[in-house]
């Protein structure tokens, strides 16, 4: 089958052969940047390429094709489009773009972003050696301080690339009624869901339980997380991040538990760690037809 991909910097089309049989790895020519001009890169082409691969990972996971999932994940993590989008997110979009890690490096100018791309484009991500996070603190509403671990710019870029590949697989697994740290979901969606479940005379829902995990990110079990992502092509790199430690007031400390709240991949790892909690509590979700469409109502054990 012939597929077409465009080079973001030039707009030229190039053909690429891809074998789509079950036992073969699909190869698609990845989008390339314009070597000399960061601002001229056609981001829509890179986004379209990455999104297409993510959809294929999602479908393969739904179909139970584990080998296909791993092949597509490797392809996505090696793609230049994923690298471009990751650098853009870390150095342009995220609010923490002006905060450096322990190495003091930042890339706030287009020339530095392009230089960073050229430094990382030929690096094997499986050989990446994470640096410790930079520990800082922010004040909570109750006056207490919350520790935040800030990875280096390069670590954040690599984390985002792995996040792009790991997230669609787990989106195929996550419960339909969870909303925290999920793509294209927000607290407003959760509020609508609660309203739909509680409204009307036919509703058997008469209460809402609100809970909180104490120091959730700081106490996540590393072995449990790594067991959950077993089979992911770059699970070893994630293990290195979890064990990279942190630097606080120029003092290095090891990390035996938890994942840094400043890490891009940390919210996904938290969701992966908590996945299965509904099953343990006896909560099941069944599709129900309503006037506004199909929703998933929860059926939980009361005993």
pLDDT of residue 154: 97
**Which three-class secondary structure state does DSSP give residue 49?**
helix
Q: Give CA–CA dist 182/174, Å, rounded.
A: 9
Residue 196's pLDDT band, with cuts at 50, 70 and 90, is confident
296 φ, ψ to 5°? -115, 115
248 φ, ψ to 5°? -125, 115
Q: Give CA–CA dist 52/76, Å, rounded.
A: 10
Q: Give CA–CA dist 103/185, Å, rounded.
A: 34
Residue 203's pLDDT band, with cuts at 50, 70 and 90, is low
C-alpha distances (whole Å) from 194 to each of 66, 177, 197, 198 are 35, 10, 5, 6
Q: How high is the mean pLDDT of the chain?
A: 83
Note the pLDDT tens digit of each residue in 225-253: 999 999 999 999 999 999 999 999 999 99
For residue 170, the tally of other CB atoms under 10 A from its CB is: 20
pLDDT at 263 over 80: yes
């Amino acid at each position: 089958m012939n597929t077409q991909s465009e080079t973001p910097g030039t707009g030229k089309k190039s053909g690429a052969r891809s074998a789509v049989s079950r036992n073969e790895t699909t190869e698609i020519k990845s989008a390339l940047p314009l070597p000399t001009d960061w601002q001229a890169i056609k981001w829509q082409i890179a986004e379209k390429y990455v999104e297409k691969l993510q959809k294929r990972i999602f479908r393969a996971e739904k179909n139970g094709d584990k080998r296909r999932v791993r092949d597509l994940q490797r392809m996505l993590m090696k793609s230049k489009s994923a690298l471009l989008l990751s650098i853009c997110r870390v150095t342009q979009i995220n609010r923490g773009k002006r905060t450096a890690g322990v190495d003091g490096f930042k890339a706030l100018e287009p020339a530095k972003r392009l230089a960073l791309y050229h430094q990382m484009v030929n690096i094997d991500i499986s050989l990446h050696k994470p640096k410790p996070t930079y520990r800082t603190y922010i004040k909570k509403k109750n006056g207490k301080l919350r520790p935040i671990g800030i990875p280096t710019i390069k670590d954040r870029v690599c984390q985002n690339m792995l996040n792009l590949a790991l997230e669609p697989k787990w989106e195929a697994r996550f419960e339909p009624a969870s909303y925290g740290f999920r793509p294209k979901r927000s607290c407003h969606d959760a509020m609508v869901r609660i309203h739909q479940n509680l409204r009307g005379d036919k509703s058997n829902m008469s209460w809402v339980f609100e809970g909180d995990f104490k120091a959730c990110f700081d106490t996540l079990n590393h072995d449990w997380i790594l067991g959950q992502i077993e089979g992911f092509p770059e699970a070893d790199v994630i293990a290195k991040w979890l064990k990279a430690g942190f630097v606080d007031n120029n003092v290095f400390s090891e990390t035996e538990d938890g994942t840094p709240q400043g890490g891009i991949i940390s919210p996904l790892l938290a969701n992966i760690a908590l996945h299965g909690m509904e099953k343990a509590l006896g909560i099941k979700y069944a599709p129900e037809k309503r006037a506004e469409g199909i929703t998933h109502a929860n059926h939980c054990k009361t005993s």
